[in-house]
Structure 1
Amino acid sequence: MITPRTIVLGQTVHLEVGDFTVVSYANGSYRLRDELTGEYQVLHHSELAQQLPPGESLETADPVDTWPLQDVLDGLKPVKKALIPYLQQLIDGTPIDGGEPNPSFALDISKTKRLDYTIEALGKVGIDMPLGSLKRDLGKFEKKGIAGLVDRREGRKEAAFARVHEDVQRALAEILVGYKGKSTVTYTAIRAELDVLLMDRFPTPEDRPKMPSLSTLERLVKHMSGNQNPTTQAKRRQTAALSPTGMHRPRLVFGPGDECQMDATTLDIFVRMPSGKVDRPHLTALVDKRTRSVVGLNLTESDPTSIDHAVLLAKALVPRRLRPWAKDYDSFGLPRMPWTKHLSKKQIETFDSYCPYIFPTRILIDNGADFKGTVFGLACERYGVSLTEAPIHDPTAKAVVERFFRTVKTKFCQFVPGFSGGSVANKGADTVRGALLTLAELGELLEKWTCIVWQNRRHAGLEDDYEEGLDHSPNTMYAACIELTGHFVLAYEEEDFINLLPTEERTVQAGGIEFDGRKYDSPHLAPMRNRKRGSDNATPKVVIHYDPSDEHRIWLRSPDDAGWITCHWTKERGMARPLDEAIALDAHRRALDNISFSDAEADVMMVRFRNRAVSESVDAVAQEARDKKKEEKEQRAANTLANILTPDTDSSNDFTNFAALEAAAR
């Protein structure tokens, strides 16, 4: 606990109006005697503190000063004990070994040099001390002797903002609750609200608690509001409010198609629609969670309907057909997928054997009316596909497909002509004036990018379990999963050797504890999630124990020291099926042996695809213009010839103009 400031009877207090001696104390007030005139006056303790001159304060009663010398020495750390003779040598030149004085520490030597010599001498005995720390210890030693070296921070357990009046904290809490769902404000506005509320509740200034300073109010608001700080962006607060407060439970899937996520978005590209207008198309995507493979895509001119989703499902249930650009697979050296070994020669020539074929057994959708339409529901029911609606106000329920949309924007859309920038502020003035793709051309380009780039690009969500920094592509993960199945088993428990395991310090976040690139979580971490220190608003760290040969679990002590908390890896293979280990190993080997693209290579390929698509589009437009011009020229020549050969009824013109006839024939 912080040592309180006290006044001792008989102490001399230096006020702005003179020096006074403390005579007595009663009912919160001091009786003071003027040392110059001998007159007495009574001051309340708060008024006495306010009349102290700037820079002065009441004396502090330090209990360490009353300790016996041996108790003071026992309370010192070993480093501080070893520092005492060096500090004494700095003050008066007394040698540390009791021998002859060291000339380097003579009093005529400057203090700066003596400090440098001391640091050098401490380094020789294995004590590494910065110059600033040595200066602070020297000042404490000169002022209070050995007692000044005692660490007074140990045992301090004062609660956060214990010095802020309870009425102030209660009033501020009411104000913060009132800002829920409101626009962003500043700390000065919150302080004004607090000031008015306190004045209304405590009309008498003597009874009114002291208002905290702006900096104290800022720290108090951050401590009390958490992720609902009214000074942060309203959209960020709204998103943070949707985050679950309990343990995060990821929906683990075993094989391809066990869960496919479906959603729609508006692409940030202006294209020429079949109707002739220029607008942004709507993209509907069906993405497999286990492998991150794109099961199906659909581009529509307007908002997709239930019928559009049924069409997309039909496309997903049938393997992709070979496209004219399929020769690019061989040019990049991409392998065929394992499922194609069961196809006949004719089927291999028909189907795209370089892409996965995934049958979606369950599709996760949102609560939109188009996804809950009758046509789409009946189509799924006919083919045995289960539909699951995502929870309301849960932005992370379809994180896989949302991540796909973000990658489409950054890795595809910004390279295509007509890129809108994603917002009005980023849209260029000439966005829709250049060469734009048609909706069909955009669909062909997007399909090509998906099959070649996305399916073979390393994905951060498919991290390798055996080599840090190695990620899998959707195709390599699919190839590893396609032929392996299994069943669930229970995870084993071991706690006997926890105390002997190595330790690390980590923070407990909303999603658990991140360690070695993995997330670990437990329902018993609830009291420690997003906990903040009152002094600096920092997240305190906890000590975790881990087994280097077992990445499935970590352990830490419970807050009340009641026992160990076992935190499991959120993607733990033991919670899935036993052959998950074989899948991970096979995926690891395939990721090392097969070709996959980095982000830079993917961007370069997208530029090449863009240039080729734009070039073909421009050539087609130019050829169409040339054909039209030629047709107009031929039509003009035919009209001229017809006018010449038409008989003239005028008797004065009985002869044919052969010169004009020859010119028209040419």
Structure 2
Amino acid sequence: MIRMLRVGDRVVFDEVEHLVAAVTGSWVRLVAPDGVPSAVLLAHLVDSPGFAIVGHDDTTDARPGGLVAQGLEDLSQEAADRAREWERHVIEVETGLPPGSPPDATPRPEYDPAVHDLGERDAAKARELTATGKRTSVRTIQRMRQRYRAEGLRGLVDSRSSRTASIDGRADVRVVEAIREALAEETSRSTGTRDRLRRRVEEIVAGRHGDGVVSMPSRATFYRLVGRLSQGQHTFGPATTRRSLANRPEGAFTATWAARPGEQVQIDTTTLDVMAAFDDGHARRVELTAAIDVATRTICAAVLRPTGTKAVDASLLLARMLVPEPMRPGWVESLRMSASRLPHRQLADIDERMEQAAAKPVVVPETIVCDRGRVYLSETFLRACESLGISVQPAHPRTPTDKGIIERTFGSLNTLFCQHVAGYTGRDVAHRGQAVEAEAVWSMEQLQDLLDEWIIVGWQQRPHEGLRSPDTNRVLSPNEMYAVLVSAAGYLPVMLTGEDYIELLPSTWRTINDYGIRIDRRTYDTAALNPYRRQHSGVTAQNGAWEARYDPYDLSQIWVRNHHHGGWIRAEWTHLPMVSAPFADFTWRHARQLAAENAQDGEATEAATARVLGDLLRRAGQGPGSTTPDHLSDADRRVATRNQAVNSNRRPLAEPIAAQPVPADDDEDFDAHEITDGDDGATVIPFGVFDARAEARRWP
């Protein structure tokens, strides 16, 4: 067992038992049985033949800590010097020699332990200090010796210099309690002034103790007291910061950490500090939904949308995360994955799409951390995560620190990307330019392309202070960190296919009737549904209904799960030839409202709604600079612009999944793709389902 050498220990030195009187630096003061003191180097003492600690003198109050140094860094230089000076005097009284004396030094006559006992030496020291102008009594010397033995050097510090000031000083405790209560109330209120707080404190004090019973401190004293009591609470600062601090859990924070790609992915939505120019001629801010991998800081996906991000947007973001980022026309060759530090060859052996991919890795999430908004706790998003085997971990309510990495990434996007883009608004009204709307020249589609390219160049290949090499501690980029962790964790990304994409779409359950399937007053049909009309699906829990998947941003088609033979059956909207472009659910609702206003009985037919929808999309496609006399109202223009925006930044789409073989039928020659609108003869081709493998084969 290891023991600490302490004052009061009895040790064997030179075959004689000594008492340890003091330990100062590397010197040990020993007192022999006959009272003769000596100073010995610590190293010489413990290495001497026969050295042993044989006991402890219980009558001596040994100071705690043994050989552990007792620092005085928290004191002023004057207070520390006085304590060290007292130590010299006390040690000289105890041993006869002051600390730092050479081994052959002899005590001064009045402090020689062989001639004078301890009481006489106390009196000699008191006379010496008094003669120097420091009036000192024998009792003071004795008290300092006792404190030195009990507490060491810290015991010699003047208590007045080490006293900690009370946070509330000499203020009335009733006033202090009222101030604390008023400060707690400010957490959820809008930020006010100290005068408002003072009035609230006066109300609390009067209501609790009566008018005039408790006197309030002066205004200056009150302000000083409030300043001390509200330290670190941001009572008079930003309200958002104050609420965030109030929601912090007690105890120390644990840094968010992950050991492999995809172990934890954080996802969130924010409004970017940049405006996009829409086709209606107005500039508006856009929303960004993004996901970031904690282990590598890779921005897995980032999608821009008009304000009002929906649950399906988050689900489709998952789909975009799980396929490689394709090279775009005009991108330089240095942006290819083959030219980066990513393990391109190993990934290309896993998936052929990596051959033509951009330098951004595919990260398959294991756990997604999100807030408790309706978008991320919706059935659509949770079901999409469940189908991909992803665990969803909601953050604590109103606690953005639970997903601090994505929150900080949004700040980096605003400073590293948005402020360099035309139409930058600044973080608030005080930082906004004079004519930001006039500066916005990029459409949302162009802004999405700029963001995608910046992520490859300005983020994935930029050193990140949060990423450090495990061997050299060098700052790494997200791509470099991905390469390091892939080699260490053996990470294998399994990427999305076409049918996986359909599984991410919202679902509804419908009966297959003679006319097809009705969803929100739209009729979908195809000859492939003939064997299943008026048939039970086999799903008893849904009363025999059939599962149908739909894309809210492209309602021109749906996919019906074949519960009998497996796979999916694609069915198109029966009135699709009457419109000129794919349309979203909000576009359909607006067209139905317009058609109902024009209907005599207030109930528009499907065909009438289709005509209104086709006319709306046709006029919107002519652009704001068209000379046609047709024009859109503000409401029509907003809906049409949003419809075009959400469909403009979709990935290239592949051929739809093959449906079940079509049996012989009178309508088997019917092909919706060949039917044209009688007004303009435009061929209507709906979006197909995204099939990443088919897309990879189409890349140049």
TM-score norm. by structure 2 comes to: 0.44
TM-score by structure 1 length?
0.46
